Amino acid sequence: MEKYAKHSVKPIYVVNADSEDYTDYVPDGGWLNYWRERCRYGDASFCRKCGSRSNIIGGHVEPCTQKDDGVWYSRIDIIYIVPLCSKCNNYNDPDYKKLFQVKKDDLIAVPEETIKYLLQKYVLSVTNM
């Protein structure tokens, strides 16, 4: 009988997260290092959005789903780190808010405390409007 290792290669749609909030918390060694330590067999040498091999950093992305109304929504309670080039991770890039597909195995969730902190900050900013 053949034996297989289980890998999820199913791509999922993601979008760059609104990055300003993430400067508050950066793990030791940076986000790309955080990704590398957890995605053991992952290749951190190329951008998952455009394929570039220069200036790779750990970018924040939110998973997206298309609802019945045909509109794509991103989740704000799950944030993943994925290798991106500095161009694709730049808020001023015209494609910054364009959806792209990433293999599920390449998505590493940020720590739960970070999400809790960001959600709290988000709720506060909404109630203070």
Residues found near Zn ion in the complex (CB under 5 A): 47, 49-50, 52, 85, 88
b/e string for 58-71 if b means 16 or more Cβ within 10 A?
bbbbbbbeeeeeee
Query: Which two tokens mark 48?
Result: 């998952």
CB of 21 to Zn ion, least distance (A): 21
CB of 9 to Zn ion, least distance (A): 20
Of 52 and 122, the one with the shorter C-beta distance to Zn ion is 52
Residue 60 identity (one-letter amino acid): H
CB of 59 to Zn ion, least distance (A): 9
Give kind and range of the element (H or E) at residue 127. Answer: helix 112-127
Of 82 and 85, the one with the shorter C-beta distance to Zn ion is 85
* Residue among 52, 101, 36 nearest 44 (CA): 36
